Amino acid sequence: MITSDSVVTLRLMTEQDLPMLHDWLNRHHIFEWWGGEEARPTLAEVLEEYAPNNLSRESVTAYIAMLDGEPIGYAQSYVALGSGDGWWEDETDPGVRGIDQSLADPSQLGKGLGTKLVHALVEMLFQDPEVTKIQTDPAPDNLRAIRCYEKAGFVRQKTIATPDGPAVYMVQTRQAFEQARSAARPFHREDESRQPGLASPVERH
Ligand SMILES: CC(C)(COP(=O)(O)OP(=O)(O)OC[C@H]1O[C@@H](n2cnc3c(N)ncnc32)[C@H](O)[C@@H]1OP(=O)(O)O)[C@@H](O)C(=O)NCCC(=O)NCCS
């Protein structure tokens, strides 16, 4: 069961995950936003295109999202600069990363898991001090994904043309991420000694 305490974690995807990924990429709720019916991949295509070694040659890292020990979704991050094939040609900053993700089970959509997944991915990517900004590019009519990204701290910039068609360009800068994190930081006892009049916003046990 999904509760507000449910924790989504990420692990690196391995070759063993590829048959499962093939199944997921052929599910309607995923392929409708990942290239459409004609982009449904065969197992051979997934084994080739998503093999972690092949992805890393394109500066893409693939992850499996986990909840309570079960795989619940696919996520990937990439280095935007030098993506090739017409992607991100104006990018000059080597610190920009992009993300994409999908939940595997259509019955789990719209319950907050995607927001948890994106939070986990953003948190992990910003652990690398070289990362300056994270971007994403949902289709303009993928309102659920756009809302999920907004809840996870992304801000819409503009509509752009990509090799896959129009997209909403959304970003989260390191500065915005760190500001949001310090605003959410739990109240500390040392702060209390400096500001004795303030009530603690978190319960202590
Ligand atoms: C995109 C995806 C990862 C988001 O995960 P999720 O768990 O469904 O998203 P969340 O529940 O965390 O947030 C979705 C938000 O969109 C809202 N939403 C859902 N359908 C919506 C719609 N048609 N219009 C506007 N908002 C919508 C939900 O109400 C929720 O917002 P709220 O919490 O303010 O009410 C998931 O839906 C998914 O895998 N979709 C299929 C594949 C896909 O689109 N991948 C993304 C490609 S960019």
Structural tokens at position 4: 């507000």
Q: What is the pTM of this model?
A: 0.91
Task: Tell me which of 71-80, 163-172, 184-193 is least confident.
Answer: 184-193
Position 191 scores a pLDDT of 52
CA 200–ligand 1 middle distance (angstroms): 33
Contact present, 66 and 11 (Cβ < 8 Å): yes
109 lines ligand 1 (CB under 6 A): yes
Strand order in the sheet with 133-136: 8-12, 60-67, 70-79, 96-103, 133-136, 165-173, 155-162
Q: What is the mean pLDDT of the chain?
A: 91
Q: Report which protein residue has its CA nearest ligand 1's atom 26.
A: 144
Pairing state between β 165-173 and 96-103? unpaired
Domain 8-185 in CATH 3.40.50.300: no
15-42, pLDDT tens digit by residue? Answer: 999 999 999 999 999 999 998 999 999 9
